[in-house]
Amino acid sequence: MKTLQAQQVVEAVRQLPSLPAVVIELLQSADKDDVNADELANKIALDQALAAKALKVANSPFYGLQSKVASIQDATVILGLRQIRSLVAAAAVTGAFAQSRHSWFDQRLFWQHCVGVALCARTLAAEAGVSEDGAFTAGLLHDIGRLVLVTCFPDEYREALAYQKKHDCFLLTAERDVLGLDHAQVGQALAERWHFAPSIQAAVAHHHAPEEATADSLAGVVHVADVMAHALDLCPREDELVPPLSAVAWNRLGIDWGRFKQMLATVEDQFEDVCTALNI
């Protein structure tokens, strides 16, 4: 099979639906903590489908609220804007891709892994003193390139997955060998097109090679979070494989191993509840 050309990928990404303007705004500011809550809440409320999704999450048992939240404005007051922002962005992006019709690609498992990485990233960010919301969103979106490949190049991608199984290699290796490019590159193209915040773009592009990104991007956090989620075996698969941990990324975070062990337990305790809350 012929490998994919970068131009084909760019073309495919251009064909994907664009996100609602308010979601693009959320993703642009996902790593900033100084946003105008009221203004943002009003914008979210204008997009009814999006507002409905956000309210459904806000009212899920995970948040354990006594009474039902009826409006986005209430939700931002009760849960805090930062929470709502991550939730709305998550709901919008997961909703942007149609459910996979392919028996060989389990989309639910895919998003569960992303939620696991998002949780790990948020926990790591809190410890390392970087934006927790930015880290959560970046974790959630880090593998978005895989979804582009499944959606736009199903035959090619299926072959890459078969190759991975046959050789028991890393997904990244299989993608490069079969497709001539990998999901990080494809994700980068989408992240640019959808105007993610720069630190999130870097995380999508470099989560497998964090030493290529600058220390202030979220690539290192998401890299370690990805390894952590695989090591915790949050989405057990027979051929599950923990990707190699970058010593550069680990050292940049400066977290000690003892503290890391407590963080593993935190994530493990939250994982199922958050999946349920996000309806994944």
Partner 1 sequence: MSTIKQIPLEEAQPGMLLGDDLRDAAGQVLLPRGSELAESSLRSLARRGIETLTIRIEAPVDEGALMARREASRLRLQHLFRQAGDPASQELLRLMLEYRQERPQ
Instruction: Summarize as ranges the residues that interact with partner 1 (CB under 8 A).
Output: 168-170, 227, 230-231, 233, 240-247, 250, 257, 260-261, 264-265, 268
| Least separation in angstroms between CB 119 and partner 1 | 16
Q: Which is nearer to partner 1, 95 or 244 (CB)?
A: 244
| Least separation in angstroms between CB 263 and partner 1 | 10
Query: What φ, ψ does residue 254 adopt, rounded to 5°?
Result: 65, 35
Q: Which is nearer to partner 1, 198 or 243 (CB)?
A: 243
Q: What is the CA radius of gyration of the chain?
A: 18
- 265: exposed, middle or buried (C-beta count within 10 Å: 0-12, 13-18, 19+)? exposed
Q: Which is nearer to partner 1, 57 or 235 (CB)?
A: 235
Query: CA 168 to CA 148: how far, in whole Å?
Result: 23
| Least separation in angstroms between CB 185 and partner 1 | 22
Note whether 233 and 264 are within 8 A (CB).
Answer: no
| Least separation in angstroms between CB 179 and partner 1 | 20
Q: Which is nearer to partner 1, 126 or 248 (CB)?
A: 248
| Least separation in angstroms between CB 201 and partner 1 | 25
Q: Which is nearer to partner 1, 97 or 260 (CB)?
A: 260
The b-or-e profile of 61-72 (16+ CB within 10 A means b, else e) is ebbeeeeebeeb
Q: How distant is the alpha carbon of residue 6 from its chain centre? A: 23
- Reading the block at residue 115, the tokens are 């939620």
